[in-house]
Amino acid sequence: MSDLAKGFDTLQIHAGAGPDPTTGARQVPIYQSTAFVFRDADHAARLFNLEEVGYIYSRLTNPTVGALQQRVAALEGGVGAIGCSSGHAAQIMALFPLMAPGRNVVVSTRLYGGTVTQMTQTIRRFGWSATFVDFDDLDAIRAAIDDDTRAVFCESIANPGGYITDLDAVAEVAREAGLPLIVDNTSATPWLCRPFEHGATLVVHSTTKYLTGNGTVTGGVVVDSGTFDWSASGKFPSLSEPEPAYHGLKFHETFGKMAFTFHGVAIGLRDLGMTMNPQAAHYTLMGIETLSLRMARHVENAVKIANWLEKDPRVDYVTYAGLPSSPYHSRVEKICPRGAGALFTFAVKGGYDSCVKLIDAVEIFSHVANLGDAKSLIIHSASTTHRQLDANQQVAAGAPPEVVRVSIGIEDADDLIADLDQALAKATA
């Protein structure tokens, strides 16, 4: 029975892992080893020539990380994946084979603040650039694409405001232009949204968040759909043209639908070194085993709490697509049929000062710069995660100064409501 025929709940436990063939260990072991012994000289040469798949050195490949890569690829419906040291590393790894000095990527204005900074500042050091567009305006996306554009990038459920991108519509624009669509699926996870089913080419995750689910390790992953023709346009020479480091090997010609994945390991991890460590992979593998159970509770709690907040007179508005009042509510059934996630913002009457008082008054919610934990989390995005943005960028990203962001955990929802109730009382007194 292939992975494609198995259900999500089975894949999240079994994909990429079976009993250890030597010891019989049922949980994936932590292969804490920098290097792996070759059978003989010919075996070593074949591995280094990319003629055989195997383990060389943990900067490139590691059995624990490999199990996680297979599991996430199976859950997303991809052909392969590349484990990285963080979500930001995954974003750079996704762009690296596609870009070159002078090239650009068209990105949504609704992004995590760190990603906005990465796209506006950091990638310039590689000679790349980003054009920011409101992804509700498809014509604006088309207008932003030029001869130097090499990718389109967005988040499925945007951080912090919970905006849901119309992935089908955006994917069609990218397809018309012959460009890959890269989707950050961190806030949704493949249990809520599978971007490949909506036309995405690559998916990235910060595995730090919901996939691990317990706030223990950082990590990231790039998942390859295997559906993009990297040779058709001539725009992606790293994948379609001879690679000097491998004596003229052409990745797309040689590896077909796995071209991006092989390039990500053989070139990206080899030279950039943004490698996931095996202990992080192990924690994430254990977390994923309960992903569907946790996400169902996250969403259930988020719906209950968002509805309560929307009715509270101390709250000006709530930005949660799971509410019928949201302008993006109609996209939930289409893009995230199991729910709109558990990340959203709400505005407290009194603005910034009240937000600060609220955060200082909560008792169950944790004031941390993370999301996707089993624990409920709260933060003022404009002064922290989105602090590097100017005022217009903050508003466009969904992080104006009058809102707080909450990542709803899996505690008792009534306890969370009681905590917000007492904190709101102090914040608006």
Whole-number Å distance between alpha carbons of 34 and 88: 23
The Cα-based distances of 192 to 9, 169, 382 in angstroms read: 13, 18, 27
CB 295 within 8 A of CB 288: no
Residue type, 387: R
Whether pLDDT at 1 is above 90: no
Query: Which has the minimum average pLDDT: 28-37, 259-268, 388-397?
Result: 388-397
Q: Residue 106's CB: how many other CB atoms inside 10 A?
A: 28
What pLDDT does 5 receive?
A: 75
Domain ranges, ordered by start, for the chain: 8-98+180-287, 292-427
Mean pLDDT of 284-296: 99
The string of DSSP letters for 281-344 reads HHHHHHHHTTHHHHHHHHHHHHHHHHHHHHH-TTEEEEE-TTSTTSTTHHHHHHH-TT---SEE
Which token pair is 277? 């460590």
Q: Are strands 129-133 and 149-155 parallel, antiparallel or unpaired?
A: unpaired
- The pLDDT, as a whole number, for residue 160 is 87
Question: Mean per-residue pLDDT for 17-23?
Answer: 88
The answer to whether residue 335 scores a pLDDT higher than 90 is: yes
337-366 tens-digit pLDDT: 999 999 999 999 999 899 999 999 999 999
Residue 283 reports pLDDT greater than 50:
yes
99 vs 78: CA distance, rounded Å: 22
On the question of pLDDT at 254 being above 70, the answer is yes
Whole-angstrom Cα Rg for the chain: 22
User: Smallest Cα–Cα separation from 135: which of 99, 104, 187, 172?
Assistant: 172
Burial grade of 272 (CB within 10 A; 0-12, 13-18, 19 or more): middle
User: Does the structure show a pLDDT above 70 at 3?
Assistant: no
Around 376, how many Cα atoms within 13 Å sit in the side-chain half-sphere? 27
Question: In terms of Cα–Cα distance, which of 285, 216, 208 is closest to 25?
Answer: 285
pLDDT over 90 (residue 173): yes
What gap in Å lies between CA 148 and CA 349, rounded to an integer? 45
pLDDT reading at 400 higher than 90: no
- What sign results for the dihedral spanned by CA atoms 109, 218, 193, 380? negative
Q: How many CA atoms lie within 13 A of 306 on its CB side?
A: 29
Which pLDDT score is estimated for 4?
60
**How much of the chain, in percent, has pLDDT values that exceed 70?**
98
With vertex at residue 316, the alpha carbon angle to CA 310 and CA 319, rounded to the nearest 5 degrees, is 60
Hey, do 8-98+180-287 and 292-427 end up sharing a CATH topology, with the first three levels equal?
no
Domain 8-98+180-287: CATH architecture, name and number where available:
3-Layer(aba) Sandwich (3.40)
pLDDT in the model for residue 84 = 98
- Tokens read off for 141: 């996306």
pTM: 0.95
- Domain 292-427 falls in which CATH fold? Aspartate Aminotransferase, domain 1 (3.90.1150)
pLDDT band at 99 (very low <50, low <70, confident <90, very high): very high
Compute the mean pLDDT over every residue in the chain, rounded to the nearest whole number.
Answer: 95
Residue 394: which pLDDT band, with cuts at 50, 70 and 90?
A: confident
Amino acid (one-letter) located at 345: T
Identify the pLDDT of residue 148: 99
